[in-house]
Amino acid sequence: MRIYIDEAGNFVPPNPPRSSFSLVLALIIPTAIEKDLFYEFLRLRDTWPNQSVEIKGTSLDESQAAQVIDLLLRYDTLVQFVALDANTHPDPVVEDFKNRQADGVTANITREHHPGPIPHMHQLGEALRATPNQLFLQAFATWELIIRAIRELTLYFAQRQPHELGDIAWVIDRKDRTTTQMEDTWSTLILPLSESAFAREPLISIIEEDYSHFDARYGITKATADPETLRHIRWLNSVHGKPTSSNESVGINAKRLLTEQLTFQDSCASLGLQLTDMLSAILRRALNGNLQISGWKDFGGLLVRHPQPGERFIQLGPGRDEIPMLGRARKVCQVLDARAKGMIAERNR
């Protein structure tokens, strides 16, 4: 499968203050249907009057937006997103949260821990502190998106197309940033935070389903891991207060999962990124009141239903565990949830 990621919005508090949502979005396309989907997308795009090599999501009218959503609904694609209101994230809130995250990276290190990874953890903490607030917000939202997407797609596709879980590729829109800048953000912030997240909370699986393709490519076992990897896993478990696994399987190779097939591309050369740009712009315009409901009312059909419709919205700092979904955002969430699909496959219900 291919996971295309793009963001919409600048993650900067607006002036004058007002609610303004920014988001990152992942479009997950099974490899088996990607060629057909892109062919149909090109046919659809050719019917629009605004012809160009790349049509941005911000330029779509309601009819075109609805057509993009309808196209994707005809295929078994999946969308995940993480959104935040930039108005509730002024610099003092972001600085405080960022510094506490940096402190937390090394808070549990003691003399008993293996010394090898310790300098790296201190470097990660300092990298977090030095990250500009705008980039930190976007990177933190992207990290949340990646973790949530992995947790969701493994459950979803293990029931439907388990072979897709053995070939996961990430395609990131690099916009006007250099590949080196994107790689630095990925390796310095996103990969270490993701590794820690899997150590704190392992993936949930459905016992009866087929994870053999995923495990064969991305699983770590005592038999296949080298001593340094096993030592690193034991160190991570100790940092997060987790006992060492007594099973043959000891974890996920986050580095392989997140970097083995990772590319940063210009969207003008990627139909997957163009679709992702359209979806992220459609959703952001819906949340900010810049697109009529006729253009996005069926968007929820691309999402998996969550117990709480507002779970995809995050708040850093005070109140991050209870995000009030008010006004237009609440109405959008209700419409999305009403159309969302269930996680459990029909054959298991």
Lowest mean pLDDT segment, chosen from 113-127, 129-143, 285-299: 113-127
Exposed/middle/buried for 110, CB within 10 Å: 0-12, 13-18, 19+? exposed
Question: What mean pLDDT is predicted for residues 15-44?
Answer: 96
Exposed/middle/buried for 30, CB within 10 Å: 0-12, 13-18, 19+? buried
271, amino acid identity: L
137, amino acid identity: L
pLDDT confidence tier of residue 307, bands split at 50, 70 and 90? confident
Q: Do 216 and 166 touch, CB atoms closer than 8 A?
A: yes
Q: Quick one: tokens of 123?
A: 């470097």
The confidence score (pLDDT) of residue 118 equals: 58
Q: What is the pTM of this model?
A: 0.89
Question: What mean pLDDT is predicted for residues 163-167?
Answer: 97
Q: Name the average pLDDT for the chain.
A: 86
Report percent pLDDT > 90 for the chain.
59
**What region does 241 belong to: left with phi over 0, alpha with psi -120 to 50, or beta?**
left
The confidence score (pLDDT) of residue 322 equals: 58
Phi, psi of 192 (to 5 degrees): -60, -40
Torsional sign, CA 120, 123, 129, 133? negative
Q: Which of 158, 136, 30 is nearest to 86 (CA)?
A: 136
Distance CA 235, CA 113 (A): 6
